[in-house]
Amino acid sequence: MTSNWKPEVKKEGFWTERHHNVALTSAISHWVVTNDKTTLKRIDQFFVNTISFLEKTYNNNCLKHSYLSHEGKGLDASVCSPWMTALLVEQFWRFFHLTDDFRSVHIIEIFSEFLSDKGVFYFTYRNEISAVPKYLSLFDTKEIESTDPWSELHHACDVVRFIS
């Protein structure tokens, strides 16, 4: 599969919040089934790295990455995905309910700040103002961000689950 990737994508790597979600989901599932201490250490390191990354102010409270690593095509911009973050939040909630590890809550709070500050746009329909989740939050080239409230309805459901 990766043999067809452009050289610049191969060099930078290809990852998104969705990839982090899959990694954390797999690790938690493996730990639940096996109670393996090595897997729990891997989960712990995931938490340490995630918190460290999120607490850097220039990351805007999200798992910021390049547009290239997200979309596989070039644009000199940093992005975060509210709906993919929502998938990851589900796993942090899951781990919290299994362990009462409040680092999960801390990460969710940070992601919530991102969502409210940078992850939505506002639009008016029939005199009612609504906050609509963005598909991608772009930090360097906001002028190309999609603000079509009807374009990402299925992804908005993931974000609503995150909020609730």
CA 109 centroid distance within chain: 13
Report the 10 Å Cβ neighbour count for 56. 10
Domain ranges, residue 58: 2-163
Q: Would you state the pLDDT for residue 138?
A: 82
Structure tokens at 56: 């850097």
Q: Would you state the pLDDT for residue 86?
A: 87
Is pLDDT of 158 > 60? yes
Q: How far apart are CA 89 and CA 36, in angstroms?
A: 23
Q: Half-sphere exposure (CA, 13 Å, Cβ side) for 79?
A: 27
Is pLDDT of 135 > 90? no
**What are phi and psi for residue 75, nearest 5 degrees?**
-165, 125
Lowest mean pLDDT among 26-35, 84-93, 151-160: 151-160
CA 82 centroid distance within chain: 6
Helix segments in 55-121, DSSP class H: 67-71, 82-99, 103-118
Domain count, the chain: 1
Q: Is 67 exposed, middle or buried (0-12, 13-18, 19+ CB in 10 A)?
A: buried
- 37-82 pLDDT, tens digit per residue, is 999 999 999 999 999 989 988 888 988 887 776 666 667 778 888 8
Q: Would you state the pLDDT for residue 87?
A: 87
Sign of CA dihedral 85, 89, 92, 98: negative
Task: Name the average pLDDT for the chain.
Answer: 82
Q: Would you state the pLDDT for residue 1?
A: 41
Q: Would you state the pLDDT for residue 130?
A: 81
Is pLDDT of 137 > 80? yes
- 86-110 pLDDT, tens digit per residue, is 889 999 999 999 999 999 999 999 9
